[in-house]
Amino acid sequence: MRIALIGAGRVASCMGPRLRQAGHTVTGVYSRTLANAEQLAKVVGAPAFDCLDSVPEADVYLVMLSDDALLQLAPAIVKGREKALFLHTAGSVPMDLWKEAGAKRYGVLYAMQTFSKGADIDWPEVPVFVEGCNPQELRIVTSLASDLSGKVTELSSEGRKKLHVAAVFTCNFSNHMYAIAEKLLATEGVPFSVMLPLVRETARKVEGMSPEDAQTGPAVRGDRKVMDQHLELLKEYPEYAELYRLISTDINKKI
């Protein structure tokens, strides 16, 4: 299948090479920043462009842009290419964005993973959620998703929004907690690496039990003495203290 990659960020840098390895032909890579397009284009063996009008013809236009850029550029991406299949990879943008942009064939291919340029993604284990404007397009999207991963599921736009919220809690918010921990440890000259065994064990536990059952710590025990000590230590970081209170209260509603 001939695929044009619209976007050259973290998602595209991981998904593009995977699709090429699966035997698809990348006809071109677009980015507003030509240098970014050129970097990915070298990897997937395709020309690079910073002008949408110059992107070559393709069977599928796979759009991997930020939500704002997707909403802004969708009509320009579709214009003159109405016979192609248009897919985006966004978690919170509804599929019908494409219909509003003038597309006749469209869908969504959402890989629920955190991506970084150059990362070695374990693609067979990545959950991929798909949506199509009709059964025929859904079959095509599902087939394309199956070339990425062995875990493909159909999910509506509304369901994908909820999934995305859950992913934000699971990934983005937990990573922010790591960032806070790193700042607190730095005041004592302790590297964040001391937390890595704890991070790994916490993740391992929820592979075999529900997160609720795996919960430990002073909040779930209702240990007010320890929590008060922690809050005292956090006095100079009022925003962290407030987070501590809110999360502890949600863990144990009796606090």
Query: Is-contact 145 155, C-beta < 8 A?
Result: no
Q: CATH number for the domain including 14? A: 3.40.50.720
Global pTM exceeds 0.75: yes
Is there a single domain that holds both residue 109 and residue 234? no
Domain end, chosen from 126, 155, 184, is at 155
Q: Do residue 172 and residue 120 come from a single domain? A: no
Could you give the number of structural domains in the chain? 2
Together in a domain, 170 and 90: no
Structure tokens, 88: 């985006």
Number of neighbouring beta carbons within 10 Å of residue 88 = 28
| Last-in-domain residue among 155, 184, 214 | 155
Cα–Cα distance between 218 and 221 in angstroms, integer?
Answer: 5
Residues 127 and 169 in one domain: no
- Domain of residue 19 covers 2-155
**Are 115 and 240 members of one domain?**
no
- The answer to whether 217 touches 196, Cβ cutoff 8 Å, is no
Alpha carbons 188 and 203: distance in angstroms, whole number? 26
pLDDT string in tens for the chain (255-residue length): 999 999 999 999 999 999 999 999 999 999 999 999 999 999 999 999 999 999 999 999 999 999 999 999 999 999 999 899 999 999 999 999 999 999 999 999 999 999 998 888 999 999 999 999 999 999 999 999 999 999 999 999 999 999 999 999 999 999 999 999 999 999 999 999 999 999 999 999 999 999 999 999 999 999 999 999 999 999 999 999 999 999 999 998 744
pLDDT attached to residue 253: 79
- Nearest Cα neighbor of 5 from 32, 26, 34 is 26
Domain boundary residue, one of 101, 120, 155: 155
CATH number for the domain harbouring residue 229: 1.10.1040.20
Verify that 97 and 59 share a domain, yes or no: yes
Looking at the structure, tell me whether residues 123 and 183 fall in a common domain. no
